[in-house]
Structure 1
Amino acid sequence: MRHLYSLLLSLLLPLVLLRLLWRGYRNPAYLARWTERLGLWRRPLQPVDLWIHAVSVGEVQAMQPLMRELLTREPALTLLVTTTTPTGARRLHALFAERVRHLFTPYDLPWIMRRFLSGIQPRLVLVVETEIWPNMLAACAERKIPVILANARMSPRSARGYARVGNFTAPTLRRFGWIAAQSEADAERFIQLGAVPGRVVVTGSIKFDVRLPASLRDRAEVLRRGWGVNRPVWVAASTHEGEEELLLSVQRRLRERFVDVLLVLVPRHPERFDRVAALVHRAGLAMLRRSDGHACDADCSVYLVDSMGELPLFLAAADAAFIGGSLVPVGGHNLLEAAALAIPVAIGPHSFNFDEITRRLVAEEGAVQVKDAEALARLLEAWLGDAAERTRIGEQAFAFVERNRGALQRLLVLLDESGMSSS
């Protein structure tokens, strides 16, 4: 079955490269070092201790506490992180500069993966969340390199897809040394799909272990004074195509009650910044872009964040947050950064990427799930008009995060058992 997968991937490679070219047309960063995806590197590869595959910004951010802990324990440790997106690469560089190496993830073809592993010779491979690559796992097995699926999640929708090719999925999952699942439900789905039960453990989500910089609150206070301490402010974080129009309609409705309300709009993908700016102009709302560098005065209705890696700062400066990718069927994004800042969180109906965390946070009254933009507008109207209610929900959210910390330490134990211990 894996041979058929490899054949199909080889046949599809021209289309994959055309798609990369198209993405590069819209965002030139995709064409930077594109040959790395084909297993062609500018310089010879160097051996590393640990290879972490993190798809994009979210996965890089999630693995940040782990990488910092490993480098603190063993400063000479060599880490390589691969991403599929340039935004993930930029976020990694912003966090670690040259201390952590980066390459774009090579395509999962047997000859590419063999060359890649022969070059980097990792002691251990860590794959983040749902990246299950059959040829990479097979090549690691050939070299007896242990592989851990960390912060692993498996949504019901994804499980149904994998189950359709169960004869292929089961032997692939059995190649993982450990599957460190975020929840009991995730663990059960992996086991049902064929993972070895004794190698599936529930560690929780490492995203609960986020540690925000001590200076964040001070910087947020300065930012908020510039916006206006008494004006209502809400953040729409990680928004997607088709979602901004809905959120701008929510903002127009809020302005009927709060004339100076500010929407801080943070699109998920940088190649969309200009298109989102055009949407705001068409909506007739006064806008300032982060890149303009000007003060956001009372006349500004939408503050467009056209930068990367600053979301925690804007969440910390806001009264409430909406998590994007959830009014459209993308599946939502991480709620926990806002919750860790004691910010009340709203999320739309499409939350399958973070189903378990969303369900539990809503049950703890640290977040509210809304069915559509109309319900979001009503909720924000209530929150922005009631500081006591915002505080109550924010405190519940913060307490939920604090109770669920610990995944980082449990994951470190698995890494040590798999050969990463310096002793």
Structure 2
Amino acid sequence: MLNFKILLAKKIKTSLQLLFVSTLLIVNIYFAEFIFPSRSINTGSTSSPQLTVLAVQDEQGSDNNLNTYIKFKASDKQYLSIFKFNASSIANPTILKSEFHANSRGPEKFVESRKFQLFNNSEKWLSIADNLNIQNELRSSDINSSIKDAGQFINNDHSNALRYKTKSSVDKNQPGYFAFVINSSRSNSTMDTSGLTGGTTVMPRTTTGSRRGRWQPVPGLKWQIQYTGTLDTSLKVDVYNIDLFDTSTAVISELQSKGKHIICYFSAGSYESWRPDASAFPASVLGRKLDSWAGEKWLDIRQLNILIPIMQARMKLAADKGCNAVDPDNVDGYSNHTGFPLSYNDQLVYNIAIANAAHNLGLAVSLKNDVDQIKDLVNYFDFAVNEKCFQYNECNTLIPFISASKAVFGIEYNLSDSSFCSQANAMNFDFLKKKLSLDAWREPCR
């Protein structure tokens, strides 16, 4: 078993560099946390899907997917809605910087002025942003406002309130993304170290030679995947895919000292009763059991406000351990019997939120299986990990990754290597034949 006590001996020296110091010292740790709307109070009526759509920045330009934004309807010739943001995980911090980000589609400011206001401790609404830079009828992420004296907006219940309003009634007001990014520092003498569920994310690290500050796996890399048995660290491969929870920081450091890149596996779409953070999953998100896997249940991925903080904490653990990438599994629940009425779009929203959370930590992220959504997700994920695409005759769906110079790491369990390896090599895939137990044994195609 691993020791999952959070390493309190890291201090960010600059935004690109970490300085390690003794855990016996009282040090400051700098955090960047993304906070999304937890509930809304509408004085005007709205027609919308779940509020959680505002936690995912998934449209741009003239995109107009009705399931990815909230459409406001006029009430008394205006729009008015109040959104609550839960900031409980940054109780008693030193807030260094706070920014508000929004993605919205609607008319330009001269047609309809839209204002974003925060409620301060003096019980006044103060304007923090408007739609000055928004182009007519284009969805934009240009609303990006730094907030001065951010602590004045954190209430006694560790929440803040955002008011979104207009004074006219043009019926084309479509917010798609609201988030606060709060940089804060805490002393390790006061920081909560009880587990993996705080929902706070450490600031992203960068990796030399990476794309946008992170590692980019490319086709042609030699790799190994092993989740059971004693890990064989002697292989002459470029990449190891290993279990996030069951692999120690020391082993990861050893492999990286040999020039290996590390992909850390966890399940993002299922509950596993044996994991150390299993108690963080309320019964309301647990669905049907996965076939043939004892102690594992599908998750209701529509409940982003519950699941994304848990997954952020897991990916923070991966970043702390030094993983270069994460491999979130079971991200195709919508096409399985989960016990929940999950839609195609529910899965897209969840998967994009997972990818964004990984990237915010400087981690590359794989799309595991979920082949029918590759066309919509390839731009959000850095590489693919696939199981049995040759057995199921669905490998052509993976070609967009290769076209984007992103690696496709694949596994076949039941076919003979002579029946698929030549085709995998011709498609520039990096495939292995493995046992279903995913122990050390491997037969590489190239």
Higher strand share: 2
TM more than 0.5: no
State the TM-score, normalized to the length of structure 1: 0.27
State the TM-score, normalized to the length of structure 2: 0.26
Higher helix share: 1
